Every structure is written in C-alpha cells, then in structure tokens.
C-alpha cells in the first residue's frame, strides 16, 4: 500500500494494490482504492471542463486571426499591388519584397488558424483531417506517411477531437524534439474501437521527465476513457499509441451481431 501511494498517478488509471492481508489492512487498501477511483473521476471531469474551455478559446483566437488579422494583411497586399504599379523603377524591388513578406505572413496566419481550429475535421471528417495533418508536417526534412482508412467505426465528436489533437501533438513533438526525418501516422479499426499510432525514427523517449505535451495527451485520453502508451519504437524512435473505445451502443451492437 505504501508503494502504491508513493507511485500513484491520476493520469495513469488502473493501477491498484491488491486487497489482501488481515481484515483491517484489507479494509484500508479497499478504502484507498475507492478514494483513488473517486479522485480520478474528479480529475477527468475537471480536465474535461478545462479542455472544453481551451477548445472554445482556440476557436475564438482562430476566428479572430482569420477574420481580423487575415483580412488586414489581405488589404495590405492589395494596397501594395496598387503602389507597385506607380512607384519608380528603383523602388519596385523593395515593394516586391514587402509584398512577399506580407504574403508569407498571411500564409503563416492561416496555418496557425488551421492548427488552432481544425476546420477540416468538422467539415470532412477524421480520416481527411488526419491525412491533411500528415501532409502539413511533411516539410523541413521530415517525411510523414499515413495509413488512414475511410471505413472507421462511428465515434463521438469528443473522441474524434482527442484523436486529432493527440496526432497533432505527437507530430509536433517529433518535428521539434525528436531529431527524426521520418514519421508514420496510422489509424486502424479494432473490435471494440480504434487505435491511433504515431511512430518516428528519432532519438527516442530518453530519461527526461514527461513534459506538458505528453501530460496533456494523457489528460485528453483520460477524458474519453482511452488508453495511451508511450513506448520505444522498433529500431529506435518513439511510438505513441492511443486506443479509443467505441461508443457503448456500438460495442453492444457489435456483440449482438457476432452472437449465433
């Protein structure tokens, strides 16, 4: 019981000490397990409220970037085009550089807005959103291949968002910290849900403590009752594996269909 208390982590559900020993000790262990279950449920509920607020704020910022900053930069581009037609020849190169810088800034604003609010997820669904994400990260020396079938089992919108955000955070970590040149993103149906796997050929997990990105992924997985594992990949690198259960109605329907 002492070892369990010293190593308990509310973001890693399921680890419980066995109820055994004399009656008083067994009762104490059972009470501790019940307390841990309650704390994890409260943590999941709190994380859910925080993540929902975070998503609302992301949507607001993305909308303002697109509607306000994006439109302002578009107007600047149009103004620069009118100026370019009238300036003396010796200034045209400088105006052209200003146009290019403004255009690059507009593209960056749009890219940030897409990451903050994955419109493709809402409009075209999870498979298309994951394929688009893999294409977006294929740059600057990193190649990302994807294996995402179109015939996935029905998932709740919250589960689809968690799958997308975990894939996004995993590829972000790969691009920033893993020193990898190749990553693979795959999503496959299981008998009782789906499994997301993001694998890279980088430097691996190492011995450093988990950062905010990994703990954020754990919180998102806990929110929808999913399992997430961070493991060494075969041949080096890192595997991020997320198993998301199907909605209860879908699981029961599958079992009914499989029975004789």
Q: Are residues 195 and 136 in the same domain?
A: yes
Using a cut of 0.75, tell me whether the model's pTM lies above it. Answer: no
Q: What domain count does the chain have?
A: 2
Instruction: Give the mean pLDDT of 74-92.
Output: 84
Looking at the predicted structure, is the pLDDT value of residue 185 above 90? yes
What's the confidence (pLDDT) of residue 249? 60
Looking at the predicted structure, is the pLDDT value of residue 146 above 90? yes
Q: Are residues 75 and 11 in the same domain?
A: yes
User: Structural domain of residue 92, as residue ranges?
Assistant: 1-117
Band the pLDDT of 154: cuts 50, 70, 90: confident
Give the CATH number of the domain where residue 204 resides: 3.30.565.10
Instruction: Give the mean pLDDT of 230-258.
Output: 75
Q: Are residues 81 and 203 in the same domain?
A: no
Strands (E), 8-67: none
Band the pLDDT of 52: cuts 50, 70, 90: confident
Q: Are residues 77 and 175 in the same domain?
A: no
Work out the mean pLDDT of the chain and round it to a whole number: 84
Q: Are residues 225 and 153 in the same domain?
A: yes
What's the confidence (pLDDT) of residue 260? 36
Write out the two tokens for 254: 């599958």
CB 157 within 8 A of CB 200: no
DSSP 196: E
Domain end (from 63, 85, 117): 117
Q: Are residues 56 and 84 in the same domain?
A: yes
Domain end (from 84, 117, 150): 117
Close Cβ partners of 126 (under 8 Å, ≥ 6 residues apart): 152, 155, 160, 163, 164, 187
- Taking the C-alpha atoms of residue 71 and residue 65, their distance in angstroms, rounded to an integer, is 9
């Amino acid at each position: 019981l002492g070892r369990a208390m010293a190593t308990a982590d509310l973001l890693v559900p399921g680890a419980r000490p066995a109820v055994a020993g004399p009656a008083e000790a067994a009762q104490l262990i059972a009470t501790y397990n019940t307390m841990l279950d309650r704390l994890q449920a409260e943590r999941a509920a709190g994380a859910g409220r925080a993540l929902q607020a975070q998503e609302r704020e992301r949507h607001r910022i993305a909308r303002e970037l697109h509607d306000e900053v994006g439109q302002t930069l578009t107007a600047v581009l149009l103004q620069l085009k009118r100026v370019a037609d009238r300036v003396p020849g010796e200034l045209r190169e400088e105006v052209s550089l200003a146009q290019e810088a403004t255009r690059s800034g507009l593209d960056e604003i749009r890219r940030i807005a897409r990451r903050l609010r994955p419109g493709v997820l809402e409009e075209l669904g999870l498979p298309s959103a994951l394929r688009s994400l893999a294409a977006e990260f294929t740059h600057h020396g990193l190649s990302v291949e994807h294996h995402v079938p179109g015939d996935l089992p029905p998932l709740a919108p919250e589960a689809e968002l968690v799958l997308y955000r975990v894939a996004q955070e995993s590829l972000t970590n790969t691009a920033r910290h893993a020193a990898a040149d190749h990553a693979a993103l795959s999503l496959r149906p299981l008998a009782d849900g789906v499994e997301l796997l993001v694998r890279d050929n980088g430097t691996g997990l190492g011995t450093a403590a988990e950062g905010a990105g990994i703990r954020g992924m754990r919180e998102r997985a806990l929110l929808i009752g999913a399992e997430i594992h961070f493991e060494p990949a075969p041949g080096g690198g890192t595997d991020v594996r997320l198993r998301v259960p199907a909605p209860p109605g879908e699981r029961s329907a599958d079992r009914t269909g499989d029975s004789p």
